Chains A and B, each alone.
Chain A
Amino acid sequence: MISLENVTVEFDQRRVLDDISVTLAEKRIGIIGANGSGKSTFARLLNGLQTATSGTVRIDDFDAAHDGRKLRRHVGFVFQNPDNQIVYPVVEEDLAFGLKSLKLPKAEIDRRIDDILARYGLFEYRSHPSHLLSGGQKQLLAISGVLVMAPRYIIFDEPTTLLDLRNRNRVERAIAELDQTVITVSHDLDLIADYDRVLVFENGKIAVDDTPANAIPKYRKMMA
């Protein structure tokens, strides 16, 4: 369970999130809002990439202010541009990157890498240069890099923005199949249309908190 209490985030005196209190227990949560509404900052709070100026952020037993390191293993984060989160030149090296810091034995690292590559049809690309993958394959590799760490929650920040329709659909399917709790920040309203709950951000506050069936039409009206 994720719970925020009176969370405020300020950058250079500018209030980006304004006294947010919310509890999230659903399996699929969508976050939408205009650029600069605070939605990305909200997502970054959840895995400790951003610290709150005031208030508390709790995820299960972890307090974001004190357990930053553990929180990052508990909450994975997939970014918009896979090119910026694949850090090794070869596919399997990149997947091993996070696992090495978990101090797992070599056999376990190999097993997890095999499993994840098979899952996304990337098995034949195991020792392939990562920059030669297609955009969709790169995003699946980025997701794999997070999944091998076996987090309980995964946050997606605009995961489909840079993809063509076919790859967008592949990534949508990949997200739908996840066992983890998923929090997706997106401008792609179809992506979150069958989620359990949608939060609409506006000027650093949660303006709408409802089911997608209700929240999305309200958001469309707000943006008209």
Chain B
Amino acid sequence: MIAGLYIDGHSALHRAQAGLKVLALIALGTGVFLISDWPVLGGVLITVLALYPVSGFGPKILWAQIKPMIWLLILFFVVQLWLNDWQAGLVVILRLAGIVLFAGLVTLTTKTSDMLAALERALMPLARFGVNPEKVSLAFSMVLRFIPVIAHVGHEIRDAQRARGLDKSIIALIVPLIIRTLKMADDVADAIEARSFDPE
């Protein structure tokens, strides 16, 4: 199974329920857009940053969260500086950094399987609107199961096309990949039915 981005630990955030953390994230994500006062947003960001060492994550892990967005943040700041003023620039980047880093914290402290379980519980009330939680759960699991299988098929196709000198053509790689996946889907559906999967 594909390893998630979770990093093991025993902090309060690690122990908090997955659903609760996601709710907090939604609340924060909404909250920061209601505030356009840079010192307050700065306070939010500092709090989020402080949660990293509190949850047992060192500067290396924190930097790995910041690094992918640093150029975007600089770009956004420059754009705002050019269009408005430096305060507007700070609002934009503090807000964005605050949400993204808190989201990163939720991802780092929550196992994917716990997230999945929380999602399944959240879907329960939707059952009366025709959403079948068993089918949803099967779909999620199947994606994880078939990523390595389809990746393997992709390697086989690339090798075969390389032997024919076609490995530079993305169409010659993708068409057989899709066709083999669809063929596989027919067999998988047969196998699921043969194992008497019956959520009705």
Contact = CB atoms under 8 A, between A and B. Distances in A.
Interface of A: 47, 49, 69, 72-73, 76-77, 79, 81, 83-90, 93, 97-98, 100-102, 129-131, 145-146, 149
| 7 pairs of A and B residues whose beta carbons are closest in the complex | A85-B191, A77-B194, A84-B187, A89-B1, A72-B196, A89-B144, A131-B148
A49 B191 CA distance: 9
Interface of B: 1, 134, 138, 141-142, 144-145, 148-149, 184, 187-188, 190-199
Contact of A85 (B1, B188, B199): B188
Contacts of B144: 89
A79 B191 contact: yes
A85 B193 contact: no
A122 to B, nearest CB: 17
Given A85-B191, A87-B141, 19 more contacts: A49-B193, A72-B195, A72-B196, A77-B191, A84-B184, A84-B187, A84-B188, A85-B187, A85-B188, A87-B138, A87-B192, A89-B141, A89-B144, A90-B1, A97-B197, A129-B1, A131-B145, A145-B195, A146-B195
B147 to A, nearest CB: 9
Contacts of B193: 49, 72
A79 B188 CA distance: 10
Contacts of A146: 194-195
B115 to A, nearest CB: 15
Nearest to B143: A89
Contact of B142 (A49, A87, A98): A87
Contact of B187 (A69, A81, A129): A81
Contacts of A79: 187, 190-191, 194
